[in-house]
Structure 1
Amino acid sequence: MNLENNQSLTSAEITQLWVIYMQDSAVTCQLQYFSAITNDEDITQLVQHGLNLAQSHITKITEIFNQEQYPIPYGFNTDEDVNISAPRLYSDSFSLYYLQQGAIISMQAHSVSLGLAGREDVYHFFSECLMEQITFLKMINDVLQSKGLYTTYPTLPKPEKYDFVKNQSFLTGYFGERRPLAGTEINNLFGNYFRNALGSAALIGFSQVAKNTDVRKYLVRGKEIAQKHCEIFGSMLHEDDIPAPAKMEDLVTDSTTYTFSDKLMMFYSTELIALGVGFYGTSMAMSPRRDIGVTYNRLLNEILKYAEDGANILIKHGWMEEPPRALDRDELAKKKG
């Protein structure tokens, strides 16, 4: 990568690079563990590929930050945050679904980052990351399909011709007969169910190996929230005889041996919440039926409260690394005085 550039990094570029560094340092710990416990050769190769991508991103971001004399985040590391020798906590299928969702989320994040990048080297880095994830997702989906594990979204009937909405009942959902779900509503309900099912499985495993009592209770609470949201999304789909994705609790073993640090698991939990907020907000905006929008709003408030409680635990234990921020001018003035 050519780092010769006299233009200073913008707030957007610094922040996006910082976020990717933190996420990929956490991913590195998790994928090193997955690599150690995975039996299936095809999935092992995908795990190693994902690990290589994460490590290469850390190296390139470190180069950019060093050139800018910007402090490197502490992040996560193998010595402190993962026990690679721990027994199997998740099945190979879980690892594969985890890789798939990680690639989808990373693809979306890199696309946003690319739109915020003006400096040539940073733009090139985000562009490279995006193309890597596009290729990686195809590799993962191919393996999922070859093993009969690919989760297919529901199909829709083929209309005879185009049509237009005739009256306001298209928007209602509380009184009278509710119209069937629109395609966008189905996609979001199905996708949010799947992500909550995977998140619930992840939190079950985390709660089994957590050391701190506050962390364990928090993770159990998160599992219960995710499972409740699955029930809500599933019931909406079932009203129109649309199948929901399968639950994933059976992808977790009964291991209680220390596997991940409480700090790493809390980081992942808060990341899941942040992603949920984004997906729910988008789903609410894309759901014309009022009852669905109100439901998303209610669920959003629940996970926002959960997020705040998680932030308090991170701060309490000194685990929340401070992100890039603006100068505190009042504090500078006090120091001079």
Structure 2
Amino acid sequence: MTIVDMTSSEIGVLWSQYIQNSMSLHMMKYFNEIVEDKEIRTIVEKTLRFTLNVNTEIEHLFHNERIPTPEGFTDKDVNIHAPRLYTDSFILSFLEMFGKAGTVAYCLSQSASSRHDIRKFFTDCLLNVSNLYNLSVDLGLEKGLYVRPPYMTKPKNADYIEGKAYFTKGFNPFTKRTLNSIEIMHLFENFKTNQIGSFICTSFAQTTETKEIKKFFVNGKKIGTKHVKIFSNKLAESNIEPPSSSDHGVTESTTRVFSDKLMMFLKTVLTASGQGNYSAASTASMRYDLVADYQRLSAEVALYAKDGLDIMLKHHWLEEPPQYPDRSKLINQ
């Protein structure tokens, strides 16, 4: 089979996956040092091997194409000997989030690829990260740590929506209709991701010495906590018990674990993911008050993301993706 050059899309998704896996790799190295539960450790070790294998394969692909490998993150970006900053419960929740985000990312990467070997590579990645996600959920269920979505009464008939009132009954508290299953799903998932995001901001704020960055993470915690409360209230309005956890996930350690560069990059990734989640939820929701909430909260997250981008630019922490040639500049040389 003749191997053709990589397309711009293939270069882009491989580059992005390398950077993100480079970050995940060093987080897993630390988790592997501090995790106490043997069964959770097994999943951490599998995830560690997976991220390492993915980046090794991308390095090989880039080498063959004579494309420079991005710098990403190194052992300088993590102190694996730092005291325990996270509980085992948090680590398992992070692994669940890693698997969930990975299935979306690798599915997108696969669909953006044309070359057979690259499609096969991303297909294998998708299968492996799906397996890691299933392992984390199964273990969470077994240990009673996984928070299930709310149950609901099963419908007796297949019905059709009658009139626009179905969409508008959300603004008036006296005529507000209860949530449908799709709306519950998005509220619940956004509740969970914001809760984990708040824990991460807490851990980063208490371990960085840089005032500017500490302030950024404190603001992130405030935003996450605020959004959790909003989603919780929306569920409670329909007499749905919001999910809760007795494990706050973060210890009292103030010793630095990760570099400011790695912490800022992770928060950038989570913020972008959050905006995508809000966009999907806004599109899927059928109550206009929920649509308005998601759009308003998304704008707040966008402003927060800009603050993070400004900090990363200021400290020269943003690697530039492979760039298409500027033909006008070349012609005018």
Q: Shorter chain as normaliser: what TM range?
A: over 0.9
Residue deviations 1:145-185 (CA, integer Å, cap 9, x gap): 11111111111211221111122110002246111101110
Gapped runs of 5+ residues in structure 2? Answer: none
- Cα distance between partner residues in 2 of 1:120 and 1:74: 26
Tell me the amino acid that sits aligned with residue 127 of structure 2.
M
Is 1:159 matched with 2:155?
yes
Cα contact 1:201–1:248 (8 A) shared by 2? no
Cross-structure match for 1:260: 258
Cross-structure match for 1:146: 142
Cα contact 1:201–1:251 (8 A) shared by 2? yes
- Cα distance between partner residues in 2 of 1:249 and 1:320: 34
Q: Decide which of 226, 234, 242 is 1:228's aligned counterpart.
A: 226
> Which segment is superposed worse, 284-293 or 148-157?
148-157
Cα contact 2:95–2:136 (8 A) shared by 1? yes
Residue deviations 1:69-125 (CA, integer Å, cap 9, x gap): 0010000011x1000010000101100000011001101111111111110110010
Task: Report matched runs for 1:18-37 at 5 Å.
Answer: 18-37=15-34
Cα contact 2:89–2:247 (8 A) shared by 1? no
- Cα distance between partner residues in 1 of 2:322 and 2:153: 49
Three-state SS of the structure 1 residue aligned to 2:209 is coil
CA RMSD of aligned residues (A): 1.3
Cα contact 1:197–1:248 (8 A) shared by 2? no
- Cα distance between partner residues in 2 of 1:255 and 1:150: 25
Cross-structure match for 1:63: 60
TM-score (norm 1): 0.95
Three-state SS of the structure 1 residue aligned to 2:206 is helix
Is 1:119 matched with 2:123?
no
By how many angstroms is 1:325 displaced? Answer: 2.8
Tell me the amino acid that sits aligned with residue 325 of structure 2.
L
Identity of aligned residues (%): 37
Tell me the amino acid that sits aligned with residue 317 of structure 1.
H
Cα contact 1:200–1:249 (8 A) shared by 2? no
Cross-structure match for 1:99: 95
Cα contact 2:18–2:70 (8 A) shared by 1? yes
TM-score (norm 2): 0.97
- Cα distance between partner residues in 1 of 2:244 and 2:71: 38
Moved over 6 A (4+): none
- Cα distance between partner residues in 1 of 2:191 and 2:326: 42
Tell me the amino acid that sits aligned with residue 120 of structure 1.
H
- Cα distance between partner residues in 2 of 1:331 and 1:207: 44
- Cα distance between partner residues in 2 of 1:5 and 1:217: 53
Is 1:177 matched with 2:175?
yes
By how many angstroms is 1:264 displaced? Answer: 0.1
By how many angstroms is 1:333 displaced? Answer: 4.5
By how many angstroms is 1:330 displaced? Answer: 4.0
Q: Decide which of 46, 61, 67 is 1:49's aligned counterpart.
A: 46
- Cα distance between partner residues in 2 of 1:249 and 1:330: 57
* Count of equivalent residues: 331
Cα contact 1:104–1:137 (8 A) shared by 2? yes
Is 1:75 matched with 2:93?
no
Q: Decide which of 273, 276, 280 is 2:274's aligned counterpart.
A: 276
- Cα distance between partner residues in 2 of 1:247 and 1:260: 25
By how many angstroms is 1:248 displaced? Answer: 7.0
By how many angstroms is 1:262 displaced? Answer: 0.2
Cross-structure match for 2:240: 242
- Cα distance between partner residues in 1 of 2:80 and 2:183: 41
- Cα distance between partner residues in 2 of 1:73 and 1:133: 22
Tell me the amino acid that sits aligned with residue 141 of structure 2.
Q
- Cα distance between partner residues in 1 of 2:98 and 2:18: 15
- Cα distance between partner residues in 2 of 1:313 and 1:157: 48
Cross-structure match for 2:323: 325
- Cα distance between partner residues in 2 of 1:156 and 1:248: 24
By how many angstroms is 1:134 displaced? Answer: 1.6
Tell me the amino acid that sits aligned with residue 322 of structure 1.
E
- Cα distance between partner residues in 1 of 2:178 and 2:264: 39
